Amino acid sequence: MTVVRGGAVADVDTVLQGREWPASRPRTATALAAVLRNRIALGGLPPGTRLPTERELAASLGVSRNTVREALRRLADDGLVTTTLGRSGGTRVREAPPEHASRESIAAGFRRTIEEYMQYRAAIEPLAARLAARNAEPAEVRELVGLLREPAPDLATYHRLDSRLHASIARASRNSVLGEAVERAREEMFVRGNVLWLRTNWSAVYPGDDAVRDAFGAEHREVVAAIEAGDADAAEEAMRRHLAEAHRQFLRLLDAPEHG
């Protein structure tokens, strides 16, 4: 898997990784913006990543440059990317929130929606874990176990691994509607929240230098172990506990002081 770190230049394959772009898909600005929004929201394109040029995206995806330009404009309007001119310019995933938006105003807006998103996730993701315990193929279980062993030295890596694991569990459920719902819920929840986290002092949740590194495996180990054991009841309950704790963490972060 290609890992894109902040400041790197993403190629087209990296931009589309994990998202289909079939010939039958409507090749519109809306569709392309949705792909890019998903990748940004779920950690695949970290802050600072420079996207391929309009020409490269258009040629690779079989769309016009106007379509690419409109998709990028929509992302810019959402505060997700910024474009600069010059030899070192281009379109990059935004490093920081818009200057006119204070952390307090962003947090206030996010607080209004976090409850609903987490209630929705609590309704669908425990079921996904239950079905994954019943239906996961051995290769899928190995993937989940392998994810727990990957290092998470920083928050960007944690977020990327977290998104991959939850999406992999949903796919292993063998329910495509449920899998799409899980990914969409996470995308819509994080696409705005990521702007907030950039200004958050994460020591409110993960105190100490080693806390983030150790958190990913510790927070998901029970869920994966239950799926590996084929214990549907345990997998469902472990996911329910994990989401409840994640909800509490989000609320603590909303009250945390601004980083730096």
137 burial (CB, 10 Å; 0-12 / 13-18 / 19+) is exposed
CB-based contacts of 106, cutoff 8 Å, min separation 6: 97, 192, 195, 196, 199
Domain ranges for the chain, please list them. Answer: 12-93, 103-254
Phi, psi of 34 (to 5 degrees): -65, -40
CA pair distance 72, 63, nearest whole angstrom: 13
pLDDT tens, N- to C-terminus, the chain (260 residues): 333 444 555 555 555 554 444 444 546 888 888 878 877 776 677 778 888 888 888 887 778 888 888 989 888 887 788 888 767 778 888 865 554 455 566 566 667 778 888 999 999 999 999 999 999 999 999 999 999 998 887 777 787 889 899 999 999 999 999 998 998 888 777 765 555 555 555 565 566 656 566 788 889 999 999 999 999 999 999 999 999 998 888 887 777 655 55
Residue count of the chain, please give it: 260
Do the beta carbons of residue 157 and residue 198 sit within 8 Å? no
CA pair distance 197, 62, nearest whole angstrom: 35
Whether domain 103-254 has CATH 1.20.120.530: yes
Give the pair of three-digit tokens for residue 19: 């998202």
Q: Which residues, in sequence order, are bridge partners of residue 90?
A: 84
CA pair distance 65, 21, nearest whole angstrom: 17
Q: List the CATH code of the domain at 12-93.
A: 1.10.10.10
Residue whose C-alpha is closest to residue 141's, from 125, 153, 158, 129: 129
Is pTM beyond 0.75? Reply is no
Do the beta carbons of residue 128 and residue 144 sit within 8 Å? no
In this structure, the strands spanning 90-93 and 81-84 are antiparallel
Q: What is the CA radius of gyration of the chain?
A: 19
Do the beta carbons of residue 229 and residue 129 sit within 8 Å? no
Q: Which residues, in sequence order, are bridge partners of residue 81?
A: 93
CA pair distance 27, 251, nearest whole angstrom: 39
